[in-house]
Amino acid sequence: DAGVTQSPTHLIKTRGQHVTLRCSPISGHKSVSWYQQVLGQGPQFIFQYYEKEERGRGNFPDRFSARQFPNYSSELNVNALLLGDSALYLCASSWDPVTASGYTFGSGTRLTVV
Amino acid sequence: DQQVKQNSPSLSVQEGRISILNCDYTNSMFDYFLWYKKYPAEGPTFLISISSIKDKNEDGRFTVFLNKSAKHLSLHIVPSQPGDSAVYFCAATAGEKTSYDKVIFGPGTSLSVIP
């Protein structure tokens, strides 16, 4: 079975640009969460979607948005990129939205903003 | 203000010896704790968890100890193997069944097991 897949794996963008990151969950998983991991810190929660509805949003500006599609894949969009948005963006999927040990992470997208 | 702290950014241990990774938390509402392991170029993977009703949980070579009064937990790996070299994240939440925005991760400790 394929795990959580994220694309692209690496990305370089210029300040002010927009970026779209994609995530395909494990088959059967209906919950997708997005995290930002800055070097030297743990993953910080950005969004959670379950059954295509937003279930949670972390302390991130409105430049960050996300959505979940009917096939449960998800996109994270970031507008007006700042240097501080450079990070590893992790997607995690799970069968249910509330079992803390139940989610599986993808390998992440490394975003560099220059 | 960090609610989950891992004060050792890195740790080196000889193969076969014990690795002890520490984690402290400040929020007294936390009652469920998780450890994740992350290899380079991979996402974190769930390793072991413990509920506050226990003070110890074992899974093979991995044991987590919880000291609620000190708000401290530790992960013991015995014996350590070179394949254990990874970054270990401690995470905490209020309740095993909780929304994912409530799971707070520490900054991680990079473990190197030297052959």
Q: What is the pLDDT of residues B53-112, one digit of tens each?
A: 999 999 999 999 999 999 999 999 999 999 999 999 999 998 877 777 788 999 999 999
Cis, bond preceding A70 (omega within 30 deg of 0): no
Average pLDDT over residues B26-37: 94
B2 close to A (CB below 8 A): no
Buried b (16+ CB within 10 A) or exposed e, A60-78: beeebbbebeeebbbbbeb
Question: What integer pLDDT is reported at residue A40 of this predicted model?
Answer: 87
Would you call A97 and B42 a contact, using CB atoms and an 8 Å cutoff? no
Nearest to A108 among B43, B89, B105 (CB): B43
Summarised one tens digit per residue, pLDDT across range B51-67 is 999 999 999 999 999 99
B44 close to A (CB below 8 A): yes
Other Cβ atoms less than 10 A from the Cβ of A112: the count is 12
Give the minimum alpha-carbon distance from B47 to chain A in angstroms, rounded to a whole number. Answer: 9
Other Cβ atoms less than 10 A from the Cβ of A9: the count is 12
Would you call A48 and B99 a contact, using CB atoms and an 8 Å cutoff? yes
- Per the prediction, chain A carries an average pLDDT of 93
Question: What integer pLDDT is reported at residue A95 of this predicted model?
Answer: 86
Please name the residue of chain B whose CA is at the shortest distance from the CA of residue A56. Answer: B101
Question: What is the interface size between A and B, counted as CB pairs within 8 Å?
Answer: 72
